[in-house]
Amino acid sequence: EELLKKYPEQTLPWADAVTNYHCRNNLARVIFVVTSDEGANSLLNMDWKQTRFARIVLNSCPLEHLPTLSTIDRKLYAECKCNIGLYHVVFEALGQGRIMRDEVPAFVKGTLARWELEFHVPFAMQYHRSWLQLDLPEAKQKMLSGLEVLLHVPEESQETNRDEIQAIMATVSAATKRLDARQFFQSTQTLWQEALSNRYMAVPGLTAMEAAVVAKHIKRLFGNPVGWR
């Protein structure tokens, strides 16, 4: 998953090619290790016939299943969300005096948030097969309607949301109307971002940050089944 996060445009085609080669030639299977549902779905979305991948999930050991003679501090283990790796990090930090006992909840929350931010992909990086079951005009309309929902900011007023979203959607709609299926589904997040900001043109587009947000939302929508919100 770390490769997928850092090099999404190279990692997925490589994983697809390796899997095809091993399945076609009946070779020993490759194990892809991911740490999130989004990482798993990035691979599973490439599995059209649902025969190439077998997903094996290694769940954390529940507190009640710890061996009776285990030396693990059960209360601390529970505070660490039953994550044995995090438990050892916290146990060592306590032993070295780097954190105090009452700081454990904040430390756990911050560490888990950091791990998710740095090591998880934010969404499935491969488009979901349900999008190809739609005609291209319908797929474009579904993407645009889903994008409007994701662009809504709860903290802003209804009027502000309406005006800002309308302005953004005008640019996105104009940019997508002439795309064919390959361009629409297979354009990278980077390409979407550059196109929507008109990076290489004098024609006004979205701001750099608006384009970054919209490009990410578009790829998130494609990575989930049609109708996902």
- Each residue of 42-72: pLDDT tens digit? 999 988 767 788 899 999 999 999 998 999 9
Residue 54, SS3?
Answer: coil
77 with 87: CB under 8 angstroms? Answer: yes
As a whole number, mean pLDDT of residues 9-24 equals 89
117: part of which helix (H) or strand (E)? helix 104-119
Rg of the chain taking only CA atoms, in angstroms = 22
In terms of Cα–Cα distance, which of 41, 46, 4, 57 is closest to 23? 46
Report the alpha-carbon distance of residue 194 to residue 203 in Å, rounded. 13
Q: How far apart are CA 103 and CA 213, in angstroms?
A: 34
In which band, very low, low, confident or very high, does the pLDDT at 201 lie, cut at 50, 70 and 90? low
Distance CA 112, CA 8 (A): 23
Side-chain half-sphere exposure of 58, counting CA atoms within 13 A: 5
Span 173-180, mean pLDDT?
A: 95
- pTM reported for the whole predicted model: 0.86
Using pLDDT thresholds of 50, 70 and 90, give the confidence band for residue 217: very high
Decide if 38 contacts 121 (C-beta within 8 A).
yes
